[in-house]
Amino acid sequence: MFAGLGDADAALLVRALRPRTLADAEVLFRQGDPGDTMVIVATGVLGVQVRRLDGGEAPVAVVSEGEVVGEMACVDPYARTATVVAKGRTVVYELRRDALEALRTVAPAVASAVVGAVIRDVTKRLRDVNGTIEAELGGGSAVPSVHGGVRGAPPTAPPSSGPEAQRAGGAFRRLVDKLRGLG
Amino acid sequence: MNGGALRALPSLGGYPDAELDLLASVAQEVSIPAGGLLCREGTTGQSCFVIVRGEIDVFKALGAGDRVLATLGPGAMVGQMALVDRAPRSASVRARTPTVALELSREVFERLLGAQSPFALRFQHQIAVAGIRQLRTALDRLGLLSSRRASPAESADEGALALACVQAATEDWDISLEDMENAVIVIPDGQMTGAELAMRRRGR
């Protein structure tokens, strides 16, 4: 869908994004804080970690250049389900919920492309969840395990750590390529 | 049917009159007698339904027979997933009473979205929000189902039904997990019905 965005629309999207530079170990989101912003990694890497029952932090994923985190909260604000922290100096673009709302009026094709990408990511994750359940319904005694079974995250992650702790990726790739193309 | 008939439906409360008029004009009004099917599990959906009058049962083949997962009334939307994805329907939907519904096809929805119709943009956003909430709830509930395995008292049948509820809801986003009173979830500190789980979720 992003491939179909014209340069003028892509430029409007770029104007709606806010660049931000994070120092090494700087926290972008903290688990439990209210969230309404999605973040695209321009350069560098973000680490995703969730609190363990014993109070420690367990790494569950990394978000690399060109990948997106927090996009569901941008569409539907929610408490952050994981803590996201810069691993080394990292440059990100932020899209706040109010900026996405504004795009619906000034650049509906752009807003629709962003929401469409979120839907594709969510669809993929719902399928993953569904595959786990299918295995459970058909397979007898296997314990349904969202983290261990679907995404391969360490078993230390509590099951309720939520969807944003992992990256489905993919749907936003073309958007990011497009942004890079604009320099 | 005119847009005014849709105004009273809670799920469409946020839509301006002009957009409801558009929905009423592009969607097909369908009348289903009691017992008639709106959609069948396993088939590829081409449309979604907004229930205007009547009651429907959402059911799924499970074990030897069908199990009703939820009963929904006016304002319920079923099968929105078909507008954005081509996966097979995860459950069947049957009219419990004589039912009137509006059927919105994927073809019409895509055309409106391509034309950047404000209605289609709002509907797309609503689908995204519904999907996100279903995913969050499903992951939470799968977590509960995982922890429930510690309880040997529960029958395998109840466990399968609870999983089927989650599964149907994850595919048909608009079938709220919280509507599924049949799903009994056993957690370490006791048993919860879907309704209790919904209350607990709202309370936090």
Domain edges within chain B: 3-114, 118-201
Cβ-based interface (< 8 Å): residues of A facing B: 72, 75-76, 78, 104, 108-109, 111-112, 115-116, 118-120, 122-123, 125-127, 129-130, 132-134, 136-137, 143-146, 158-160, 162-163
* Alpha helix ranges (H) inside B8-105: 17-26
* Nearest residue on chain A to B81, alpha-carbon basis: A123
In degrees rounded to 5, what are phi and psi of residue A122? Answer: -65, -40
pLDDT at A67: 86
Binary contact (A104, B121; C-beta < 8 A)? yes
Binary contact (A133, B140; C-beta < 8 A)? no
pLDDT at A181: 62
Compute the distance between CA of residue A10 and CA of residue A178 in angstroms, rounded to an integer.
Answer: 7
Compute the distance between CA of residue A43 and CA of residue A64 in angstroms, rounded to an integer.
Answer: 8
| E strand intervals along chain A | 18-22, 27-29, 34-35, 37-51, 57-63, 68-69, 78-79, 83-96
In degrees rounded to 5, what are phi and psi of residue B86? Answer: -110, 25
Contact status of B134 with chain A (Cβ, < 8 Å): yes
| pLDDT tens for chain B, residues 1 to 204 | 777 788 888 888 889 999 999 999 999 999 999 999 999 988 988 999 999 999 999 888 877 788 888 888 888 888 888 888 887 887 899 999 999 999 999 999 999 999 999 999 999 998 898 888 878 877 776 665 555 444 444 555 666 666 676 666 655 555 555 555 444 443 433 444 554 544 444 443
ipTM of the complex: 0.75
Binary contact (B170, A116; C-beta < 8 A)? no
Q: How far is CA B153 from the centre of its chain?
A: 30
* pLDDT at residue A119 greater than cutoff 60: yes
pLDDT at B17: 92
Q: Does domain B3-114 have CATH number 2.60.120.10?
A: yes
Compute the distance between CA of residue A145 and CA of residue A131 in angstroms, rounded to an integer.
Answer: 11
**Chains A–B, number of C-beta pairs less than 8 Å apart:** 106
Q: Give the mutation candidate from A9, A114, A126, A127 for the B interface (greatest B CB count, under 10 A).
A: A126
Confidence of residue A137 (pLDDT cuts 50, 70, 90): low
* Alpha helix ranges (H) inside B77-152: 106-114, 118-148
B155 contacts B163 by C-beta, under 8 angstroms: no
